Amino acid sequence: MIRLGIIGLGYWGPNLLRCFEANRHCKVVVTCDRDTKRLEQIGAQFPTIRRTTESDEVLDSDVVDAVVIATPTRTHHRLATQALEAGLHVFVEKPLATSTEECRELIALADDRQRTLFVGHVFLHSTPVQALRELVASGELGDLYYIASKRLNLGPVRHDVNALWDLAPHDLSIMLDLIGHSPASVSCSGLAYLNPRVHDVCNLTLNFADQKMGIVHTSWLDPRKDRVMTVVGSKKMAVYNDLEPLEKIKVYDIGIDALPYPASYGEFQFSYRYGNTFSPRLNEAEPLMAECSDFIRCIRDGERPYTDGRNGMAVVEVLEAADKSLSLGGARVALADAVSRSGESPSKSTAPVASA
Ligand SMILES: NC(=O)c1ccc[n+]([C@@H]2O[C@H](COP(=O)([O-])OP(=O)(O)OC[C@H]3O[C@@H](n4cnc5c(N)ncnc54)[C@H](O)[C@@H]3O)[C@@H](O)[C@H]2O)c1
């Protein structure tokens, strides 16, 4: 039985606590939050679990075998470092850390101590993303052209990170997974209305070396909640709407072909294809439950997680370059050291499969 500690019981931590409590291979033995009110609320629901305001009391291998970190992003590196140094397996919520350098340190430490470092890229454990992955890998969509996503809502407004760092990790983790490698460069524009130092609205473009493109629009200052990703291929197009209760993925057998051998540029002719639309059947596994099970399975089997430290770093690297672009008024910024899936250790696990 794996003994677990959970640090951070604000908005997201209690969801993790619920899922880990349902897993028969682990036991949450301690919860921690600086905020005593939050601890009391959790204590009312889970009275038998020990509670503390001091993370030092959790980050101890005599107390737990693994720790889940669901605190604000700026605290991830310090808490995860302390946990790994204490010999614990670590689950860190997205984004893994505030810089590529911090991520690199965590990866090196986890490798050195031979401990599981798992990043909360929850959508990579979801059945809709699994379906998109299959549509791309099977060639059903044809050559991938571009992926565009919107993640919008009214709030919650963050103080420590901008809308891009808060919201885009989900879209980026999915895009990088579908495209299979990091972009060569990014450009990002945005504006800060509510707090002059924190961008509320950000538009990010990812430029991939192979002519593919990613577009991510994030905002917590929008009247409507929107969670839509469009994947455009040469043969078909897919739309993933996470707010749809049933048909989250729709595949459109639709496209435009350039007719061969035009006499001149001006005479370029296009043929429009309008075919059927279908929605693949998805099982109803809860992504968060699948994610938490995968963390525990990786610890038990000694398997490297699909959403490991490198997976987390690939996302942070894009965010870091995007921040630089934001500060340069939207200029194109090259990624220093593109993190490619192909160069990774063969012991890493294959894409997670969520089952009902
Ligand atoms: N996977 C998802 O879909 C998802 C959704 C929301 C948030 N998140 C991530 O979860 C993390 C937390 O986000 P949130 O929305 O719950 O934030 P939050 O501000 O609501 O909660 C954070 C909690 O951590 C506590 N805390 C801060 N520093 C601490 C410390 N040093 N020791 C102990 N407790 C400490 C705070 O008191 C607070 O209760 C972030 O990394 C965020 O990106 C993930």
In a domain, 346, yes or no: no
Shared domain check, 81 and 150: no
- Ligand 1 centroid distance, CA of 39 (Å): 13
Checking if the pLDDT of 152 tops 80, the result is: yes
Q: Dump pLDDT digits (tens) for 1-22.
A: 999 999 999 999 999 999 999 9
Q: What is the mean pLDDT of residues 154-168?
A: 94
Domains of the chain: total: 2
CATH number at residue 134: 3.30.360.10
> What's the pLDDT score for residue 348?
57
In terms of domains, do 208 and 176 share one?
Answer: yes
Residue 356 has pLDDT above 50, yes or no: no
Q: Are residues 22 and 63 in the same domain?
A: yes
Beta strands per DSSP E along 208-244: 213-219, 221-233, 237-241
Handedness of CA 35, 40, 41, 45 (dihedral sign): positive
Pocket of ligand 1, candidates 7, 69, 93, 159: which has the most ligand atoms within 8 Å of its Cβ, to mutate?
A: 93
Query: What is the per-residue pLDDT across 184-194, written as a single tens digit (0 to 9) for each?
Result: 999 999 999 99
Q: Which one-letter amino acid corresponds to residue 221?
A: L
**In terms of domains, do 134 and 88 share one?**
no
**Residue 195 pLDDT class (50, 70, 90 cuts):** very high
Domain range for 214: 126-278
State which of 115, 143, 170 marks the end of a domain. Answer: 115
Contacts of 22 (CB under 8 A, 6+ apart): 289
* Cα 32 to middle of ligand 1, angstroms: 11
In this predicted model, what pLDDT tens digit does every residue of 68-97 receive, in sequence order? 999 999 999 999 999 999 999 999 999 999
Residue 327 lies in a domain: no
Q: What is the CATH number of the domain that holds 23?
A: 3.40.50.720
Q: Is there a single domain that holds both residue 97 and residue 160?
A: no
Ligand 1 atom nearest residue 122's Cα: 1
Query: Span 109-138, mean pLDDT?
Result: 98
Same domain, 136 and 268: yes
The larger pLDDT score, comparing residue 216 to residue 338, is at 216
Instruction: Report the 3 state secondary structure along 294-306.
Output: HHHHHHHHCCECC
Ligand 1 mean position, distance from CA 126 (Å): 21
Instruction: Give the residue from 12, 7, 86 showing the smallest Cα distance to 53.
Output: 7
Ligand 1, atom 38: nearest CA belongs to which residue?
Answer: 10
- Same domain? For 167 and 265 the reply is yes
Q: 181: how many CB neighbours lie within 10 A of its CB? A: 17
Which tokens go with 339?
Answer: 């993190």
High-pLDDT (> 70) share of the chain, %: 93
Give the whole-angstrom CA distance, residue 65 versus residue 290.
20
Quickly state the pLDDT bin for 339 (edges 50, 70, 90).
Answer: very low
Provide the pairing of β-strand 26-32 with 50-52: parallel
Q: How far is the CA of 345 from the centre of ligand 1 (A)?
A: 31
